[in-house]
């Protein structure tokens, strides 16, 4: 696309709500797990595209706390897909110098997933390209509650006073400590809500919504979102 902004004006951090796998599958007479399998292929393409575009950070909403309410078979299938994704995509991450991180209540993931996740994070820790952040067993309200508890523990230990606690200090207690806030939030499949995703961090993110379901989301759509982002004036409340 020739209407992309200069690379220096690309979003530093893109966050994506990957919605529509199940509906994509059902519209084709397939199972919801087939939709998640197709969605995993899209993840590979978009992660690769972001690495090639020199995007700094990409956060993918992979599994929410609320998703645990889905049928057991679907949740189990998602966990096994995640394990296979981490194993199969590790060579691609290394080739593209991608560093993997994860946010969420990771301790509650199945042990086999946690082992695979910890292994992939450790294996890519020294990579210096795109930082890929998987939001797993994640809910933003839970993150803020966990952050508040961490701050209270610091206060009880005498390491934090009331006067010390401001927005910058509180952000250090969130799962995303050390990660810049998203500049661009993309949601696929046309829903107009943020679904308990990065509520603190997207305060000034630009939103880009597409009716295209996640399995049909392409590199070209990603470039379209970046081009649209480049046209926006980000005033952060100023003039």
CATH of the domain at 81: 3.40.1180.10
Over the chain, what is the mean pLDDT?
95
Residue 101: phi and psi, rounded to 5, are -135, 165
Q: Does a structural domain hold residue 153?
A: yes
Question: Which among 114, 131, 121, 137 is positioned nearest to 61, based on CA atoms?
Answer: 137
How distant is the alpha carbon of residue 26 from its chain centre? Answer: 25
Choosing from 2, 3, 19, 163, which is the catalytic residue?
19
Report the number of distinct structural domains present in the chain.
1
Can you read off the two tokens belonging to residue 191? 């829903």
Q: Does a structural domain hold residue 3?
A: no
- The tens digit of pLDDT for each residue in 45-95 reads 999 999 999 999 999 999 999 999 999 999 999 999 999 999 999 999 999
Task: Check if 67 is active-site.
Answer: yes
DSSP string of 79-101?
Answer: HHHHHHHHHHHHHHHHHTTPEEE
- pLDDT given at position 170: 98
- pLDDT given at position 238: 66
Task: Check if 19 is active-site.
Answer: yes
Q: Does a structural domain hold residue 180?
A: yes
Helix (H, G, I), strand (E, B) or coil at 232: coil
Q: Does a structural domain hold residue 210?
A: yes
Q: Does a structural domain hold residue 17?
A: yes
Contact assessment for residue 182 and residue 14, using Cβ atoms and an 8 Å cutoff? yes
Q: What is the mean pLDDT of residues 216-228?
A: 97
- pLDDT given at position 239: 59
Whole-angstrom distance, CA of residue 210 vs CA of residue 49: 18
Question: Which among 193, 196, 206 is positioned nearest to 236, based on CA atoms?
Answer: 206
Question: Which among 200, 209, 207, 157 is positioned nearest to 175, based on CA atoms?
Answer: 200
Q: At what angle do helices 111-123 and 72-95 cross, to 10 degrees?
A: 10
Which residues form the domain of 25? 12-229
Q: Does a structural domain hold residue 236?
A: no
pLDDT > 90? residue 236: no
Contact assessment for residue 28 and residue 72, using Cβ atoms and an 8 Å cutoff? no
Can you read off the two tokens belonging to residue 44? 């590979």
Q: State percent of the chain over pLDDT 90.
A: 93
Choosing from 2, 67, 166, 183, which is the catalytic residue?
67
Q: Does a structural domain hold residue 2?
A: no
Q: Does a structural domain hold residue 117?
A: yes
**3-state secondary structure labels for all residues of 125-181:** CCCCCCEEEEEEEECHHHHHHHHHHHHHHHHHCCCCCHHHCCHHHHHCCCCCCCCCC
Helix (H, G, I), strand (E, B) or coil at 63: strand
- pLDDT given at position 136: 98
């Amino acid at each position: 696309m020739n209407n992309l902004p200069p690379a220096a004006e690309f979003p530093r951090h893109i966050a994506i709500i990957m919605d529509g796998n199940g509906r994509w599958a059902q519209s084709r007479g397939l199972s919801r797990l087939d939709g998640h399998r197709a969605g995993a292929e899209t993840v590979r393409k978009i992660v690769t595209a972001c690495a090639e575009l020199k995007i700094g950070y990409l956060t993918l909403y992979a599994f929410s706390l609320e998703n645990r309410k889905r049928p057991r078979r679907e949740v189990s299938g998602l966990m096994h897909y995640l394990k296979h994704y981490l194993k199969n995509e590790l060579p691609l991450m290394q080739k593209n110098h991608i560093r993997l991180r994860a946010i969420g209540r990771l301790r509650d993931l199945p042990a086999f997933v946690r082992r695979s996740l910890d292994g992939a994070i450790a294996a890519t820790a020294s990579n210096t390209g795109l930082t890929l952040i998987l939001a797993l067993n994640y809910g933003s309200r839970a993150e803020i509650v966990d952050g508040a508890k961490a701050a209270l523990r610091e206060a009880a230990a005498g390491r934090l006073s009331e006067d010390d606690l401001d927005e910058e200090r509180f952000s250090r207690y969130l799962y995303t400590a050390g990660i810049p806030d998203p500049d661009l939030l993309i949601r696929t499949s046309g829903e107009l809500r943020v679904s308990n995703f990065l509520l603190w961090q997207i305060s000034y993110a630009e939103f880009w919504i597409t009716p295209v379901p996640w399995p049909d989301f392409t590199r070209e759509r990603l470039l379209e979102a970046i081009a649209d982002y480049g046209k926006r004036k980000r005033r952060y409340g100023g003039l």
